[in-house]
Chain A
């Protein structure tokens, strides 16, 4: 095993997949000469040339649409949207075209493309640049949405996303690029994949299930460790995929612990957590010993001011208090 950053793993995996399959190419703003806003594509222009690492104009609808066309014609584009906030500009291409073409044209052509894009707040980028829009995409049938939290999962899921015949939103987070983690050494296991739609139990526990994904996984694990000293045993389920959702794993865990807290970076209402909470009560009602709780961001446009931004984002403290509440006998 080698310890690498999430950023490095994305870079390496893109390079490997481009080497493995010549149909794979990259498109995005500043990914070539500038080597990417987050340096994921560092060196790739030099390594693969301008035909396969394409700098695009600032025109998301245009280049996402071009990727849809390329995918329909047999290539495997991997688009980098500089931030998920810019996906709004390309929304028509994503949800009307990428997601629906396979259905609307009777399965004549799949759209095998990946859109990589980071989201999340905490960087003082203000309201329009700090959003978590994953629920928008998870809502759309026809799209697959993954949001890995660790370098290991990022590698396995990026491979699956690139090799998948459906359009996949590959959600990164500004807070995870520098997360380090172990990945198998290149020499003997360089081709593992993680299936899309399979969650991972990142920590076993017995008292309450924490359901989370992406950056919040790390906070949840810290909180679980902290609460272990109080005798509260938390099981941490990392969704990894937001669509399809791995309800069997979630339900199995909730049936074991009888309590669930959902922890997400996104806004609270109408969210991923709302979906999971509803599904839990539909499928595991008789196993619940307490209401399912959600911890999510304050429902405000994220403020620019750092203290206010932090106050609006979901925190480990809020998670701790929700867990204490759900396992406590007196609210």
Chain B
């Protein structure tokens, strides 16, 4: 039995759709016969048979889009008997078990979890990268991950030009291990970007003060540029009713004993996100180099504004932590962040991030994804406004949520379901205490 796979028909092609099948199961196939028309990102092209035989099964129906390498049909060669069990189309990007095991092992061992290049994940799951020795050396100098760079050389080998190109364009995964994990609070990023632009366009210091960004600011600028350039962001917004959450929080905090930690709205959002991520694991999955990596843990990072930058400390296993202990941990992390005492294990290994500008009375905004995560939640201020409740106008506490998501791994409906879960949880906040 010969597998007919979705071929790679152009450099940029990642997936293709079967437009039309020209053969049906049982048809005699000769090498070179056009089996189907394939729609790629650029054009419709012929899918030719590479073997003689009989078309056994069609696994991908017209209109279906599948990744390159997916088996779309099978051909039975002369002398073979018909297959008893029908097969299904198998996408090559399904995350292999050993890779997941490697991820969890790394998580357990290092507690720094799925930081792309700092764990054996890339090596274990993405296979060998073809690169010239020079390209490897340059990638190491520029701290770029070769897995994220397309090779233009013979057989896809990555050459110097490819690495230089990725370096200049800011493509390629940064090898992030020792760097501060940072995320977008648009205001802060904007200020860094503005400074950088000022430096770029103003050669003399007469009208501007030229400020050299700190390492953290440089990292923010580079990583978020990479994120916006490489990750296809899309945004889904909703508004949730926080009236019950406001009441619950008041109740919880009013009964605090001496020295108790107050629960913030952010803590509630962190907890709600963690539960939602547990329920919609697709949203806790990231994409790299043609593969999906589904996190087995829920580690929620939240952006903290610190002098000259921002950091994203991470609350590990936020889904299984109680709100009070979560709040206590968050408070400690914020204090550490503000006093510059965060350790790498405090900010590495996040699987999802939250950026909350509610305290600045921002009502709605969009955040930039913190790679390699696939989503970031932008949380606005809780404001009282008139809404229709039970056919009557009522004043309620409303809060906007906008999820920025990586469209390579997350789709609109998934994000909508995720936001729906968040909404349900925040509007019925007693669920968060479970």
Contact = CB atoms under 8 A, between A and B. Distances in A.
Interface stretch (B134-142, B220-228, B246-254): B134-142
Contact of B154 (A258, A286, A287, A330): A330
Nearest to A330: B154
Given A286-B134, A286-B137, A289-B135, A258 B153 contact: no
Contacts of B136: 286
B71 interface: no
A284 to B, nearest CB: 9
Contact of A288 (B132, B154, B155, B161): B132
A287 B134 contact: yes
A38 interface: no
A329 B153 contact: yes
Residue among B134, B136, B152, B160 with the highest chain A CB neighbour number at 10 A? B134
A329 B137 CA distance: 19
A183 to B, nearest CB: 39
A330 B154 CA distance: 5
Interface residues of B, number: 13
Interface in B112-168: 132-137, 152-155, 159-161
A288 B131 CA distance: 10
A289 B154 contact: no
B133 A285 contact: yes
A326 to B, nearest CB: 10
A290 interface: yes
Contacts of A188: none
A289 B135 CA distance: 7
Contacts of A285: 133
A287 B137 contact: yes
Nearest to B152: A329
Contacts of B153: 290, 329-330
Interface of B is mostly: helix
A329 B154 CA distance: 6
Contacts of B159: 289-290, 329
A263 to B, nearest CB: 21
Interface of A is mostly: loop
Contacts of B132: 258, 288-290
A289 B134 contact: yes
A331 interface: yes
Interface string A285-316: 11111100000000000000000000000000
A331 B154 contact: yes
Interface in A237-295: 258, 285-290
A328 B155 CA distance: 12
A328 B154 CA distance: 8
A307 to B, nearest CB: 33
A287 B133 contact: yes
A286 B134 CA distance: 5
B353 to A, nearest CB: 37
Nearest to A285: B133
Interface in B229-273: none
A258 B134 CA distance: 7
A260 to B, nearest CB: 12
A288 B159 CA distance: 9
Nearest to B151: A329
Contacts of B133: 285-289
A287 B154 CA distance: 17
Contacts of A328: 154
Contacts of A286: 133-134, 136-137
Interface in B178-214: none
Nearest to A288: B133
A213 B343 CA distance: 59
Contacts of B160: 258, 289
Interface centre among A286, A330, A331 (most CB of B within 10 A): A286
B340 to A, nearest CB: 37
Nearest to B155: A331
Nearest to B158: A289
Contacts of A287: 133-134, 137
Contacts of A330: 153-154
B167 to A, nearest CB: 15
A67 B152 CA distance: 58
A168 to B, nearest CB: 36
A233 B371 CA distance: 40
A324 to B, nearest CB: 12
B150 to A, nearest CB: 12
Contacts of A331: 154-155
A330 B135 CA distance: 16
Nearest to B135: A289
B134 A288 contact: yes
A285 B137 CA distance: 9
A302 B155 CA distance: 36
Contacts of B134: 258, 286-289
A330 B160 CA distance: 14
Contacts of A289: 132-135, 159-160
In this complex, which of B152, B154, B155, B161 has the most chain A Cβ atoms within 10 angstroms of its Cβ?
B154
Contacts of A288: 132-134
11 contacts: A258-B132, A287-B133, A288-B132, A288-B133, A289-B135, A290-B153, A328-B154, A329-B152, A329-B161, A330-B154, A331-B155
List of 9 A-B pairs having minimum Cβ-Cβ separation, nearest first: A331-B154, A286-B137, A289-B134, A289-B132, A289-B160, A285-B133, A288-B133, A329-B152, A286-B133
Given A287-B134, A289-B134, A330-B153, 9 more contacts: A258-B134, A258-B160, A286-B137, A289-B159, A289-B160, A290-B153, A328-B154, A329-B161, A330-B154
